[in-house]
Homo-oligomer: A and B are copies of this chain.
C-alpha cells in the first residue's frame, strides 16, 4: 500500500505510467526535443479541423496527445476509468471540450503549469489505492491562447521582457495503471504547498515559482532522507533560466545543492537561439518534456531514477490587475527506470 512520510506518499507497490504521448506546434518542432514528440504540426491553428479560434485549437492538440497515448497503450477510450485533466484557460475549457469529445469519466484539475505533476500525483495515488485500473493524466497549453488571456493580444506585437517565458504550444498525456504492470514506476508523490514570496511581475514567473519548487524539494528530501545525488536528474518545470538560477542559489543556501538539476523550460527550446527569452513555460511545457524526453529516457535506460517537480504560478489576469502577488505551487513525482519493475 502507501506509506506517508510527512507530505510524501511512498508506494510500496508502485503504480506505473504504461504509455504516454507528446504533441506540439511549430516552435516545439524546431527545438531539441522534437524527435521525441509523437505529433508535431506546422500550423497549430488547425485550419483543416475547423478550429475557429486558439482555444479550440488547444483542445484539439490535447485530444491528439490523448488519442496517441491511448493508441500506444493499446486500449480504447472506453477502457479508461478516469481522466484527470486541466489547462491554463479560464475555467479549464480546453480540457472540458477535450473530455466532451473523449467521453471518459472526468475530474478537472487546476494547477497552472504544475498541472502535469498534479494530475500524475492524483492518478498514481488513485491507481495505487485500487480506485482506478486505467487512469489518464493530461494537460496542454497554447502560446496564442495564453498570450491573449494573460498578457496582450498577439496583434499588439508587445515587446517581451528578458525574464518572460514562452508558453509552449504543447500537450502531454500519460496512461497509468496499478502496480505490477509494465511501465515506468511512480515511486512516490508529494503534493505541494502554496508559497508566495511577493513577486508581482507577471513577466517573471520563474522568480514567482522558484520558492514553491525549493519548498517541495526540501520537504521531499527531509521526508525521505534521499539526496539530490541519488537521482540522475532533478527536473523542474518551468522555471526557465531566471528561476533555475535562483533555485540553484537557494538550494545551495539551504545546504542541499542540486548538481543534476534540469528545467523543462530550458530543455524544450534552444533558449538563446529560439527567441523564447528565459525559456519555455505553460502546462504543456513540462508535460511535453516529460512525455518526449523524461519517460522515454526512463524506458530506454538513459535515466534510472529522477524527480519531476512541475511548478505553477497561481494568479489570474484579474488578480494581476488587482495588484495581488503571485502564489506558486510545485508537486513532485518520483519516477524510476522501467527495468526496476
Contacts and interface: CB of A to CB of B under 8 A. Distances in A.
Interface of A: 1-2, 4, 7, 9, 52-53, 55-56, 81-82, 86, 88-93, 96-97, 99-100, 103-112, 118, 121-122, 125-126, 128-133, 149, 190-196, 314-319, 322, 324, 327, 329, 331
Contacts of A131: 2, 4, 9, 125, 128-129
Contacts of A192: 105-106
DSSP class of A's interface residues: helix, strand, loop or mixed? Answer: mixed
A99 B194 contact: yes
A93 B317 CA distance: 10
User: Most B CB atoms within 10 A — which of A53, A107, A118, A195?
Assistant: A107
A133 B5 CA distance: 12
Contacts of A318: 55, 89-90, 93, 149
Contacts of A1: 130
30 contacts: A1-B130, A2-B129, A2-B131, A4-B81, A4-B132, A7-B81, A7-B105, A9-B132, A52-B322, A55-B322, A56-B322, A86-B108, A90-B90, A90-B316, A92-B314, A93-B314, A93-B315, A93-B319, A97-B324, A99-B327, A99-B329, A100-B194, A105-B190, A105-B193, A107-B109, A107-B122, A107-B191, A107-B331, A109-B109, A122-B122
Given A9-B131, A90-B91, A107-B111, 14 more contacts: A56-B324, A82-B191, A89-B316, A90-B318, A93-B315, A97-B319, A97-B327, A99-B194, A99-B327, A105-B190, A106-B191, A106-B329, A108-B118, A122-B122
A314 B96 contact: yes
